[in-house]
Amino acid sequence: MAHTLLLLFVICGLTSTVGPTVEPDEMLLQPAGEGQLSLDPSEVAAAAVDFGGVARAEPLAVMRPGGAGDVAHLVRAAYRSARWFPVSARGHGHSTNGQALASGGVVVQMSRGRIAPRPMPAYSPSTGEYYVDVWGGDLWVDVLNWTLANGGLAPKSWTDYLYLSVGGTLSNAGVSGQAFHHGPQISNVYELDVVTGKGELTTCSEEQNSELFHGVLGGLGQFGIITRARIALETAPHRVRWIRVLYSDFAAFTRDQELLVSLHGAHRSERFDYVEGFVIVDEGLINNWRSSFFSPKNPVKMSSVHANAGLLYCLEMTKNYDDSAADSIDEVGLR
């Protein structure tokens, strides 16, 4: 699961901050556009911790950018300043080990509000597919709601948790149950706008600045800050059948999982659209199911399943279908 590292980006040779830093002049940090710079103690304190709670590092200031130009201006100021300071881009704060922190520097709150009206989904004649341009700080759940409402479309590949930023998961990989068919999220990006370590705003893709493009995607934030991503879309399903199967035998569990994944090239009617497997530890079973989306009525039944070494295995699948197939969807099976 891609619980994101959220774009750690440290200026000055893209290395971690070592030794004492000198606080930058407040005027040096002022956004060039519509953004805001905050020294408010409550905002600074909120930016000093992340989801992991492992590390704590208090920044000097927090910036809410008004656009990519503000991000570039800040990074450029840090790069050129004799009094160097760290800059960190923070999405929704879901880094786990302090990667989105900037001790004595500036945290860029990428997910704070909308910067400009979000562009409508568009069709690309060159690829024969739809896409949407989104801000790097947008949350995936907001992207989904937007594309559904404007064309009945959805991104092809997801993480299991949608309240993560676009730039954050693309800096990691973005892996979930659709990856066996579409690849991770980083395989479903057509184009990026990136602020490099020198504060240059650069557009990159497979054809244009391809080295930067591939470096940023999955680069753990060490090659730049993603300010815009062009995401591949597909038609959203009308309905989804969600299926979970429990196993006590690991060999049978992995055999079935590998079979389902191997069908990724099959016709849509013959394959599943989402496949994931996970292990559940039997710690009394009754209290262990709550984190696995099972009904409160299930644990008693599950307790009767014989589990070797106190383990059970769960295979999770989904099958997309439309209204015309509603009466026959339960008859679909593996041949």
Residues with catalytic function: 94, 160, 276
DSSP character for 179? H
Q: Which two tokens stand for residue 308?
A: 């070797």
Class of residue 125 by CB neighbours under 10 A (exposed 0-12, middle 13-18, buried 19+): exposed
DSSP character for 236? P
Identify which of 214, 188, 215 has the alpha carbon closest to the alpha carbon of residue 9: 215
Report how far Cα 241 is from the mean position of its chain's Cα atoms: 24
Asked whether 135 and 115 are in contact (CB, 8 A), the reply is yes
Q: Are strands 311-321 and 239-247 parallel, antiparallel or unpaired?
A: antiparallel
Question: 29: helix, coil or strand?
Answer: helix
- Reduced DSSP (H G I as helix, E B as strand, rest coil) percent helix, strand, coil of the chain, to 5: 25, 25, 50
Backbone angles phi, psi at 163, to 5 degrees: -90, 50
Report how far Cα 240 is from the mean position of its chain's Cα atoms: 22
User: What is the sign, positive or negative, of the torsion defined by CA atoms of 73, 75, 81, 85?
Assistant: positive
Identify which of 147, 170, 174, 172 has the alpha carbon closest to the alpha carbon of residue 160: 174
Can you tell me the distance from the alpha carbon of 184 to that of 175, in angstroms, rounded to the nearest whole number?
A: 5
